Structure 1
Amino acid sequence: MAFTRATGKHRRPSRPGRLTRRSASLAGVATLATTGAVGSLASPALAAGTSADAAHSVEATGLTQALVVGDSLADQVAAQAEAQRHAADRAEAERRAEAARKAEARRKAEARAEKEREERAEREAEERAARAAERERLTAYTLPVAGSVVTTGYRSGGSLWSSGSHSGVDFRAASGSSVVAVGAGTVVEAGWGGAYGNSIVIRMNDGTYTQYGHLSSIGVSVGQAVTPGLQIGLSGSTGNSTGPHLHFEARTSSEYGSDMDPVAYLRAHGVNV
């Protein structure tokens, strides 16, 4: 014979609050699952609330809250990385600009140095040319009277000369014509020369001597250095002279009787006589 119980009589009566505690426990587990790790990244307050608050947070947001916090940190990291890239780009741009400034400064300095070298070389060339021109001028010879010609030749005979012959040559020159040194040298005689009248003797730089006679005036003094073409006096007819002219001699010494052919002497120094 079977025994039966009335429907519903076999169940134990429910304890008040049992379901509530179970729900709260489940809510706590959900809270730990969703906020345990996230709370450490987001905010301590999120992990420290009551179980009711945690349950409410799970119901209200679930995993959404954790994703929002994660996105916020990612944005901060991305912004920081972007700022670092911008700073690096600025630093690189400044480095390149500084390198360009230095390169331009070097280029300008090199250009200035090159210009200075060229100017220095040009000055040196000009100085060399000037020195060469001066040497040429000092070694050059010229006629004692510009544009003149010989009227009485060397060794011409006659009673006009005590030795019986002409010891020099006569250049045509009106009274007061400019008489110049035929080359560079030093004056060794300047004054009255007897039959030569007012006379000048110059020791030339090559060791020879030249004499200028019958002058109306003398413009240099003994010991004075002269250069080619420098005016030393004016022509005249002083001393043993028949009229205004310049008596010119070339000698191997300052003494009378050491004469040599004046025309050949001048021609040997490049003068067209």
Structure 2
Amino acid sequence: MDWKGLQGFLSGVNKYSTAFGRIWLSVVFVFRVLVFVVAAERVWSDEQGHFDCNTRQPGCVNICYNHFFPISHIRLWALQLIFITCPSFMVVLHVAYREERERKYRAKHGENTRLYDNPGQKHGGLWWTYLMSLFIKTGFEITFLYLLHYVYDSFKLPRKVQCDVSPCPNMVDCYVSRPTEKTVFSYFMVGASILCVILNICEIFYLISARVVALKHRGSAQTASRKFHPDVDSDGCKSSHNE
């Protein structure tokens, strides 16, 4: 998989992210993608080839491996990384849409006119898009954590599993290769995922709090304006006594 290409696409998100969003992106690429590519893929590269059972019954080893490991940790984490980074493209596409509207507006009304003060500023629809992307990312993170725990019943990999699935002749013992090393990486990836969830929740609260404060300041400014200019209504228009 071309993780460098994904990083190149997401690097543009930094321009529109808050401080929490920049930390989240750093955690994803340093503690998750980099660890995944450099170390985790190699640790799980021999998972099926070194899954040994104390029987030579044809098909028994493959059936037991599929029974206990229906989906590889590596493939599940790869899907997780793809799903949690895709919502960030919503923000990039929304900003690109705004920039295109800005370009067309200037072409029609002149270069000195502006439709947006800053197309990347999180106001109006872009604020909602950014907030929705955070909720989607958080939902994906929690869903994949639940799937990992549900499929394997634990984040810890056992040293030995017992299998009696057909065509195994009886109860056979099967041994997982490098279980301690795989357990360490499992806990590390789970911990990084939980950290990303916490960062997403902090960013959600930050965005909502900043929006509430901005609305309060705007309301206070409008109240003060009406107090000093009683002939101006709430829309900034002078009231007419003739109407």
Under a length normalisation based on structure 2, what TM-score does the superposition of the two structures give? 0.24
The structure with higher relative contact order (CA 8 Å, sep 6+) is 2
Select the structure that is richer in helix: 2
Greater gyration radius: 1
Under a length normalisation based on structure 1, what TM-score does the superposition of the two structures give? 0.22
